[in-house]
Structures are given as C-alpha cells and as structure tokens.
Structure 1
Amino acid sequence: MDKVCVEDRSGAPTEPLLHRFMGVDLELAAGVLVPREETELLGRTAVGLIEGRIDNPLVIDMCCGSGNLALAIATHIPSARLWACDLTDETVALALRNAERCGFSSRVRVMQGDLFSGLAGENLEGQVDLIVCNPPYISTQRLESDSAHLLDNEPREAFDGGPYGISIHQRLVRDALAYLKPGGWLAFEFGEGQHRQAAALLARARGYEPARFAQDAAGLPRVAFVQKRPDA
C-alpha cells in the first residue's frame, strides 16, 4: 500500500505521492482511504454497464473517498457527467484536488454530506443512470479485533460498516431508488461472504430487478449490480 510522504528531511513539503487506479494517477492524503486493487472490479463493472449504451450518462459516486471511481469513470466515458459525494472535510478536499489534477473539474462535481443529503438541491431525483458506491463493510466488532491494523493509517469511517458490516448498504439500497431513473443501475462493493446479505437487502427494497454479481480473481462475489424496475 502506498503511504503519503508529507515532508522531506529539511521540513519542506514534498510532491504528493500518487496512486494509480484504473489508469488514473490519484493523490493520496492522510485521513482518506487508499483505493484498493479489488475496487477496480467495481469500477470496471460500472463502466461496462453504461459505456456505449447510454448517451451522456449521469453518474453518482457515493462514498467517493479520493474520487477514484468517479475519475476512472470520467476517464473511460468522456460524455459522462458525475457527482462525487462523501462525508468528511478531508475526503472532499482530496477528491476536489484529484478532479482538478485530472482536468475534470467541469465534469465531476464534488459534494459533501451524509450519503444522499450531500446532493440536496442538485435536482437529480429520478435522473441518474448509474450510482456506484464502495461503502464501509467491515463489522465494528471485527474492526476492533483482527482488522484493527487497518486503523493505523486510515480513518475508521472508511471501514466501519456497523454491527453486521452492512449499515451503509442498507441506507444506500433504500435511498438510491429516489435518484435512479427507471432502468438505472446501482453497483456497489461488499465484503467476502456478504453476497447473501446484499441480495436480501436488494430484494427487500422491492424496487430492483434480481441482483447480479461480479466475481473477483478468486471467484468470490464482491460486487452487486442491479437495475431499478420500470414500475418502481
């Protein structure tokens, strides 16, 4: 994993360390999740859902972190317009810097808020072709035991998915329906062994077609993608 070097021996600021994600060089910063290689599966799945299929797609990257998914989608689909949203000052500031670094400030809007509350006033309800999200998905108990090392350099809110690891997923699945157009796509990452929970959440929402899953290199389902039903 890349680490951020803030100063050289003289105390002078150094150039920010970059991390490559789906061919995009991203600045890293303390207090923000470093994009993982497995999240590229989510990015590739998202691109495949809309590339060449939808003209001028509108896309939301929820829990955007450094902006890696939004900027990768913007790179691969030049006609896409995107909104990237996250909760903390650190993530929003970094996503803004990365959007400027990539030359996408006019196409990628970075917003701040608790999930979809950050998009209030953007008039996106019922207009969105794709919502992509890499939410926290480690249970609080596990994060405080065998996964505690993750908190050495990265923030708790990037990992803590609540008692069962799916608290943010529950809100995402429920609230995304208001923003997706009929036939619009929701795609999100989840942890190993959580695919049944993901499928159950989507089924209970009663607004989506049957869930489909993308598998990682080990053959494990790690990404769910699903369409909003026309009558939802």
Structure 2
Amino acid sequence: MRVLLIEDDPATADYLAKGLGEEGHVVDLARNGKDGLFLALNESFDVIVTDRMLPGPDGLTILRAIRASGIATPVLVLTALGEVDRKVEGLEAGADDYLAKPFAFAELRARIRALARRPAAQAEQHALVVGDLRMDLLRRVVARGGRAVELLPTEFRLLEYMMRHPGEVLTRTMLLEKVWDFSFDPTTNVVDVHVSRLRRKLEAGGEPPMIRTVRGAGYVLAAPEPARTEA
C-alpha cells in the first residue's frame, strides 16, 4: 500500500515512516504543507496521513484542496488538538478519520488498515448525480442530460458543494465559507453573481431550472419535479 505521510516534526515523521515501511508500505514523506499538497494533488496514494498543524498550508487546508479537486483518497488527520469541536471541523473538511496525539503506533496501523479496507464503491465514489445533472469529480466534467456544461473553477466548486447537499437550503454565508473560504461580508454579491451564471449554464439547453432562490434564506439545488400530465 502506498501511503503519503505529511508531518513536520522530525522525530515523529521518521518514527512513523520507519514503522509503516517495516509493515511493508511504500511511504512518501513530506515535511511541510507545501510539499504535502503537491504530492497529494499530483500522485496516487491508497491512504494519506497528515498532521493538522503544519508549516505552509495546514492539514485542513490540504484536505479541503484535495477534496475540491475530486480526490477521494482516505485521509487520516493527526493532531495534538483533541477537543470535540476540532475533530468535527476536520471531519466536515473531508477527513475520514481523526487521531489525537499522543497515540500508539498499533492504533495508527489499525486505522490505516481500516481505511484501506473500505469498500471500493465508497472509496472510489467519483461522481455526483442529481436528476439529469452529473458531475465527474475525477475528470472534472459536468453534463446535464448528456449535454456538456463548461464551468470555470469557482463555478465547479460551487456546483459541487450544492450537489453534495441536494434539496437543502444553502445560505449565502455557508456558500461564502465553504466555496470561497470567506467570512460573511454583507456588502459582497459574489455568491449571487456566480449562482446566476451557474443557472444560465445549467439551463442553456432549454432544461427546467434546478436552482431555486429561497427569499431571505439562500438557494436550493434539486432535481426538477416531473411535468404533470392532464388526466
């Protein structure tokens, strides 16, 4: 199994790399966030193990970046921050498991094995589908009813987030935080502008609307209701 280990503490990094190597795994070691992110985005791994606190991009920034790129590789986050809210933050960012320091190597080994054993259908879920709208996360392409929908990177991220939450009311604040990584700014209309562009592209072939505005709340993406026929 090929494992990417991102850890900046020299003693911990060397200890874990040696232990995983002795277990028969091929270990790629990155000692900072920049190198770890580059490897995660450009190489193929069975499991990624990353420290949360890193120089350069931190572990959660790396995690969000690889998930935004459609990479579904299982990720185990290591941290000295064991509080429940920190764990929730990591899991919401896309982590598959969370392990607080200090830990026994045997527990790390067991968790890595558990992640690697996950059903292929779960580990390799590379597509999102809502109605006749399909997003291929690996190829980074979108189609509606077989028609290709050309999206800019930010539009792709926006649509991906909405497709991961079909039928849910997504507020502008939520979209700013999850798609743009901004705090709420009442003066910006960046969300409305991008949603408007996304709507036009999704309906360019004459298809019925999929994005609905909920006045005073936000937006909902859902499959159109079937057309009613007269009795």
TM-score (norm 1): 0.30
Larger Rg: 2
Higher relative contact order (CA 8 A, sep 6+): 1
Would you tell me which structure has more helix in proportion to its own residues?
2
